Amino acid sequence: MREEELIFLLKERGLQICCAESCTGGMLSSTLVNVVGASDALDMGFVTYANEAKIKLLGVNAQTIERYGVVSEQVAEQMARGAANVSGAQVAVGISGIAGPGGSEHKPEGMVCFGFFINGKTTAYTKQFGALGRQCVRTRSCEFAIDTLLELLKNEKI
């Protein structure tokens, strides 16, 4: 399983990971915890569903939320960076999206933004999973986060 590969790679490199999750509600952290030995790599996790939690716990800038919306690459990057800053982890992921049902006036159901932080550098992605239902969007978001982290760590793209 890909989560086992990620935990192994993090442990092998002596890296700690921290997750900052909104629409996934802790599912990514839970998926990683399912791996035996995850405690050697998983530092901590944040479920910051409300905007205020993102601001208070992760240091997301309120003006960034106002300007780009909470579901944006800018917010996801700030979530990842904030999680890394609070935890001291070298690797962090921020996830913010619309799992559904329904989208917003400006953003569709199934749109999820990801921020990745590795050793001081960040990158972001947006995925459109479509109106697949809450559970499917959340599951696919976790799979995408794990796959992307593996790619970034293996290819040192960050």
How do residues 106-146 score in pLDDT, each as one tens digit? 899 999 999 999 999 999 999 999 998 999 999 999 999 99
Residue 157 has pLDDT above 70, yes or no: no
Structural domain of 33:
2-155
Quote the pLDDT of residue 101: 87
How do residues 87-111 score in pLDDT, each as one tens digit? 999 999 999 999 988 877 789 999 9
Quote the pLDDT of residue 47: 98
Instruction: Report CA dihedral (32, 21, 45, 37) to the nearest 10 degrees.
Output: 0
Q: What is the mean pLDDT of residues 1-15?
A: 96
Which are the contacts of 95, defined by CB distance < 8 A and separation ≥ 6?
19, 20, 21, 22, 23, 24, 28, 76, 79, 112, 113, 114, 115, 141, 145
Residue 155 has pLDDT above 90, yes or no: no
Q: What is the mean pLDDT of residues 20-44?
A: 97
Count: domains in the chain: 1
How do residues 53-83 score in pLDDT, each as one tens digit? 999 999 999 999 999 999 999 999 999 999 9
Supply the CATH number for residue 133's domain: 3.90.950.20
